[in-house]
Structures are given as structure tokens and as C-alpha cells.
Structure 1
Amino acid sequence: MSEIVIRTASARQGDIARRAEAMGVDDVFISDLVETFYARVQANETLGPVFEAAIGDEWTPHLHTMKQFWSSIALNAGTYGGRPIPAHHKHLDKIKSEHFSIWLALFAQTLHDIAPSPEAAAFFLERAERIGENFQSILFK
């Protein structure tokens, strides 16, 4: 019979930090990922206008929020407290289901180009795929 092990939140946080460090993931990488990815989004002929219509000249706050979001996912930082579905739902006149495959392809290419390790790329891509699937299932049901 296996023994039940109860771990503290700080022990779990330490495990997450060690795993991230082993993959080469830290706040600097997350910042680079967000900045590089969204520069590509802005330059993309399909996604650029969609994001521009939604974000306008508020890119700095959006990038900050996205850094908090990914830091919370990868590092368990707890810095993101947003509600992404309602934020996207109010732009359904611009967002189409097919945009998610373009978004994901750009994200995957960005990870391929700058991720510090294959493990880091796989970690972020797996989560991005789940996020995209979740958004589509909620926004376009």
C-alpha cells in the first residue's frame, strides 16, 4: 500500500520553480516570449487588425497582463487575476474560430525560435493548445 504524502504549498511552489529552472524558464524568458510573440501577432496580416481593433494603443498594459498570465501558468506566480473569456467575448464581432489556428501557429513558431529548451517549448505549447481549445469551445459553442 502506498503512503499518502501531504505537501505544503511552499513545497509545491519549490517543485514548480525547480522544474521551470530546469527547462530554462524564468521571468526574462516569459517577457521575451510575450514581446516576440505579440510583435508577430501585430505584424500578421490576419491577426494584426483583429488585435489592433481590440487593443488599440493599449499594448503596454496588454503585454504586462500577458506576462502575468504566462508567469502564473509556468511559475505559479499568482500574479494574474484576469478573466480572459469575458475579455475575448466582447470582441466576438472581430474574433473568428479560424484565428485560433493562426494564433497557435505563431506561438509555436515563436517557441521554436526562442525557447531555451525543447521541454520549455513543449510545456508552453501544450498549455497554449489547451487554452485555444477551451476558448473556442466557450466562445463559439
Structure 2
Amino acid sequence: MTEPVIRTASARQTDIARQADSMGVDEAFISDLVDAFYARIQADDDLGPVFEAAIGDDWSGHLVTMKQFWASIALNAGTYGGRPIPAHHKHLDKIRPEHFSIWLSLFRQTLQDRAPSPEAADFFFERAERIGLNFQNILFK
């Protein structure tokens, strides 16, 4: 029987950074991904008005938050300290379950256009799918 490997938080973060680097994922890519994705969101006939109602004119603030969120997901950066479910829950009068499939489709398209490698696209899309499913389960069930 093998002994479990116990790693420090620092060692785990180093492993995550190494894995991200091997896929071509860094903060510059995350910034580009978030900017391109939310440009698509704003232009979308279904999602644009929903996000506009929630965000208003503070797109720059939202983009900063989303970059922190995705850096925390992909790089274990620890820069995001928000609470996404309550932030979305207060807009349930505008959010519909079918919005999540549109959101996910736009995210996939953005990854196909921008990801530095197929592995990076898969890595982000898998997490986006999980996030979207979790949001739907919490918000609508």
C-alpha cells in the first residue's frame, strides 16, 4: 500500500502554475479570454440585455472581477473573493435557465477562437460547464 502524498499549499500552487503554463494559460490569456467573451455577451440579443440590466455602465469593474475569478480557477491565484450565487440570485427576475446554454455556447466559441492550445480550451470549458450546471441547480431547483 502506498502512502498518500501530502503537499503544502505552496507546492500545490506551483504544480497548478506548471500545468497552466504547459497549456499556454497565463494571466494575459485569461484577460484576453474574459474581454473577448464579454464582448460577445454584450452583443448577444438574449444575454446582452440581461447583463446590461445587472451591470449597467460598470463593465470595467465586472471585467476585473471576472479576470480575478478565472485566474483563481485556472491558476489558483486566490485573487477572487466574491460570492457569485448571491450576486446572480438577486437578478432572478431577468435570468432564465435557457440563458446558461447560450452563455456556455458563447464561452465555447471564444475558447475556440482564443485558447492557446486544445488542452487549455478543454480545461476552461470543463470548468465553465460545471459552473453553469451548479448555478442552474442552485438558482432554479
Is 1:93 matched with 2:93?
A: yes
Percent identity (aligned):
79
Distance across 2 between alignment mates of 1:6 and 1:88: 36
Q: SS state of the match for residue 92, structure 2? A: coil
Structure 2 unaligned spans of 5+: none
Indicate the residue corresponding to 1:57 in structure 2.
Answer: 57
Distance across 2 between alignment mates of 1:5 and 1:100: 38
Mapping 1:1-141, distance limit 5 Å: 1-141=1-141
Could you tell me the TM-score, scaled by structure 2's length?
A: 0.99
Output the amino acid matched with 2:10: S
Q: By how many angstroms is 1:8 displaced?
A: 1.0
CA displacement, residues 29-65 of structure 1 (integer Å, 9 cap, x when unaligned) = 0000000000000000110011001100010110000
Structure 1 unaligned spans of 5+: none
Aligned residue-pair number: 141
Distance across 1 between alignment mates of 2:34 and 2:138: 24
Output the amino acid matched with 1:46: D
Q: By how many angstroms is 1:7 displaced?
A: 1.1
CA displacement, residues 70-122 of structure 1 (integer Å, 9 cap, x when unaligned) = 00000000000000000000000100000000000000000000000000000
Output the amino acid matched with 2:116: P
CA RMSD of aligned residues (A): 0.5
Output the amino acid matched with 2:114: I
Q: SS state of the match for residue 21, structure 1? A: helix
Distance across 1 between alignment mates of 2:68 and 2:108: 20
Could you tell me the TM-score, scaled by structure 1's length?
A: 0.99
Distance across 2 between alignment mates of 1:4 and 1:37: 40
Distance across 1 between alignment mates of 2:52 and 2:9: 40
